[in-house]
Structure 1
Amino acid sequence: MKKLINDVESVEEQMILGLVKSAPHKLRKLDEGNIVVRVQKKEGKVALISGGGSGHEPAHAGFVGEGMLDCAVAGPVFTSPTPDKILAGIENVHAGKGVLCIVKNYSGDVMNFEMAVDMAGDEDIEADYVVVNDDVAVKDSLYTTGRRGVAGTVLVHKIAGAKAEQGADLAEVKAVAEKVIANVRTMGMALSPCTVPAAGKPGFVLADDEVEIGIGIHGEPGITREKISTADETAKKLLDTILTDLDFKGQEVVLIVNGMGATPLMELYIINNFVQDYLKEQGIKVYDTMVGNFMTSIEMAGFSLTLLRLDDELKALYDAKADTPAWKR
């Protein structure tokens, strides 16, 4: 295993410290653990928290800031943070208007965030949660009951964050988060696996001419393994699955071409070149496009495609100002 780390035990903390030091006027780390919050606390509005295992950078702490999250809680690589750490985040950012937790649909994350919400209620802190399940590749997996939560989570952060900034109440912020979840779909693939530092070996093995279709974001294998094909053919395969799952025809969409961690921008732009043309052929209008690393799997090579179906409300919230280390649009 070759990685630019110091020791396995310090990976997550040193990563979080490095992130905070890159934006010290915006972010700070709590003493209680690998918990990132805004330097300037948002007052009088609903607070948003997300998180999960480390290894998905810039998610989730990179999306803490104006217009998006108030707090991100990082667990060990690919492992959920514990309920007490999530509760510490809730306690820090709540300002009397309630706290919404945005949770990816992985069993550990759902269980621990649910417990933290219950614990917050015991302290008379109003808290609730939504579960993101945008991955169309699998119905159930080793890690989930139901579909996995993947790159579409970033758009839930953005749009729910904008709604909270407007002063909406907790029920309204939760409703718009659920609206995004209902209208967002994602599918990904891998050219090569990733290695969790504590494991020291890849989560699966691919031959030089093989790819994995339908991977998750925790190094887990996908639904099919096949011979590598062209960028266009691969992107079409993912898109066709997404378009079969939800009717996007005649709609405006946000498109994310998301790198899994080790894919060069050159290849992501080649993917985007095909996707734009193919969506146009299908009668789908791309309102905005994001190309880059947003929800990664350490150093996995590959990509995912995300489509969010827009209406006037979602478009306005998507366009609202946001300023975080990983989102400046």
Structure 2
Amino acid sequence: MKKLLNDPADVVVEALAGMAAAHPDRLDVDLEHKLVLRAGGPVQGKVALVSGGGSGHEPMHGGYVGTGMLHAACCGEVFTSPVPDQILAATQAVDGGAGVLHIVKNYTGDIMNFEMAAEMAAEGGGAQVASVVTDDDVAVQDSAYTTGRRGVGVTVLLEKIVGAAAEEGRSLEECLALAQKVNGQGRSMGMALTSCTVPAAGKPTFELGEDEMELGIGIHGEAGRARVPLAPAREIAEDLLGPVVADLGLARGESVIAMVNGMGGTPLLELYLMYNEVHRILAAAGVTVARNLVGNYITSLEMAGCSVTLLRADDELVRLWDAPVDTPGLRWGV
């Protein structure tokens, strides 16, 4: 294992210390609770957005804390859910009196711990908390980590769109309804060319032959639909898009927000090549790409591979997507 580390046990805290040093103007980092918070404290009278999960998926979620997106991110150990006390501390730190929306990916540990934290926050007349669970991965119905579909790429799009709505001053109920709409209209599927190596494990999570790829992997390296022979990019794009388009029921004349996401170890040269294939397939189907993202947004350490996310778009979602955002991971309109 070759990684830029000191002690594997300290990787999360030391990375968070680096975020604090790199972005002192926009982030407050609580190293004790492993939280990334917006600088300046709670925004009074506006809904706050809290998300989080295991580390190793950067820039998600800490990189999406800032104006137009999250108010706080809870950082678990690598590929490990944050604990309830962390989530509670984040919820209390950002509550501006209008309620807090928890954005939770559909993994058993995340759901259990966010539910416990919400109950703790509500005790004694505390914060009003609502929760949305993302479950957009079409690859598998159930996995080793979930009951139902895994929460993956749509989480990024949801945090951006609902973050813009919260900036507008929408109520907790309105933000929750919008979050549910985004989750319901988005689907994702990913693939891997290589495994990743969790620092504490010191060896790859799984093995792939030189001429093999895994279709439908999760963001922790968990198995997908099938292990198949390596294929050209045009065929991979078809394998990923086919189930996504079918599950959404996309029809000619519709439009989408499309994300081609790198898993951490794939160069932009290849990701743009993959986006070209995705764009070509959608154009042939009469589907317009209203907006797009290409790059590393929800990663799996240094795994080579990519995922494709499509979100059925409408005027409201595109407007909220275009709204200003200023975070370490996404920035435009400011």
TM range, smaller chain: over 0.9
SS at match of 2:307: strand
- Once the two structures are TM-superposed, the CA of residue 161 in structure 1 deviates from its matched residue by 0.5
Q: Which structure 2 residues correspond to residues 117-196 of structure 1 after superposition, within 5 A? A: 117-123=118-124, 124-196=126-198
For 1:245, the aligned partner's letter is D
Where does the alignment leave 5 or more consecutive residues of structure 1 unmatched?
Answer: none
Matched with 1:213 is: 215
3-state secondary structure, aligned to 2:256: strand
**Residue 33 of structure 1: how far off its partner (Å):** 1.6
Residue aligning to 1:92: 93
The one-letter amino acid of 1:112's match is: N
2:155 aligned partner, one-letter code: T
Matched residue SS, 1:267: helix
Matched, 1:299 2:324: no
**Residue of structure 1 equivalent to 2:36:** 36
Is this contact kept in 2: 1:46–1:95, CA < 8 A? yes
Query: 1:73 and 2:74 equivalent?
Result: yes
Is 1:268 aligned to 2:268, yes or no? Answer: no
Amino acid at match of 1:309: R
Conserved in 2, the CA contact under 8 Å of 1:8 and 1:197?
yes
What does residue 311 of structure 2 align with? 308
Q: CA deviation at 1:40?
A: 2.2
Q: Deviations over 1:198-232 (max 9, x none)?
A: 11111110000000000000121212001100011
SS at match of 2:193: strand
Divergent runs of 4+, >3 A = none
Alpha-carbon contact 2:45-2:97 (below 8 Å) kept = yes
Contact map agreement 2:164 2:321 (CA 8 A) in 1: yes
**TM-score, length of structure 1 as denominator length:** 0.99
CA distance in 2 between counterparts of 1:182 and 1:226 reads 30
1:260-285 per-residue CA deviation (whole Å, 9 max, x = no partner) reads 00000011011011111110111100
Distance, in Å, in 2 between the alignment partners of 1:16 and 1:282 is 43
**Aligned with 2:243 (options 236, 241, 265):** 241
Secondary structure of 2:214 counterpart: strand
Q: Is the 8 A contact 1:83 1:112 kept in 2?
A: yes
Q: Is the 8 A contact 2:262 2:296 kept in 1?
A: yes
Q: Give 3-state SS (helix, strand or coil) of 1:192's partner.
A: coil
- Establish whether residue 52 from structure 1 lines up as the match of residue 82 from structure 2: no
2:11 is aligned with what amino acid? V
* Counterpart position of 1:231: 233
Question: Is the CA contact (8 Å cut-off) linking 2:68 and 2:167 kept in structure 1?
Answer: yes
Q: How much has 1:31 moved relative to structure 2?
A: 4.6
CA shift, 1:20, in A, is 2.1
- How far the C-alpha of 1:328 sits from its partner, in A, is 1.1
Whole-Å separation in 2 of the counterparts to 1:197 and 1:32? 21
- Offset at 1:294? 0.2
Q: Which runs of 5+ in 2 are unaligned?
A: none
One-letter amino acid of the counterpart of residue 4, structure 1: L
SS in structure 2 at match of 1:5 = coil
Check whether the contact 1:195–1:219 (CA below 8 A) recurs between aligned residues.
Answer: no
Q: TM-score, normalised by structure 2?
A: 0.97
Determine the C-alpha separation between the residues in 1 that align with 2:202 and 2:91: 33
The C-alpha deviation readout for 1:269-307, integer Å capped at 9, x for no partner, is 110111111101111000111100000000000000000
Q: In the alignment, residue 144 of structure 1 is paired with which amino acid?
A: T
Q: Deviations over 1:103-130 (max 9, x none)?
A: 0000000000010011000042101110
> How many corresponding residue pairs?
329
AA matched with 1:266: L
Given residue 170 of structure 2, which amino acid in structure 1 is its aligned partner?
A: A
- Cα-to-partner distance string for 1:69-94 (whole Å, 9 max, x where unaligned): 00000000000000001000001000
Bigger mean CA offset, 291-300 vs 13-22: 13-22
Q: 2: distance between equivalents of 1:5 and 1:228?
A: 32
Say whether 1:82 aligns with 2:83: yes
Distance 1:49 1:268, change over 3 A: same
CA RMSD of aligned residues (A): 0.8
Letter matched to residue 256 of structure 2? V
| Alpha-carbon distance between aligned partners in 2 of 1:199 and 1:128, rounded to the nearest angstrom | 35
- Aligned-partner residue type, residue 190 of structure 1: A
Note if contact 1:66-1:322 (Cα within 8 Å) is conserved in structure 2.
yes
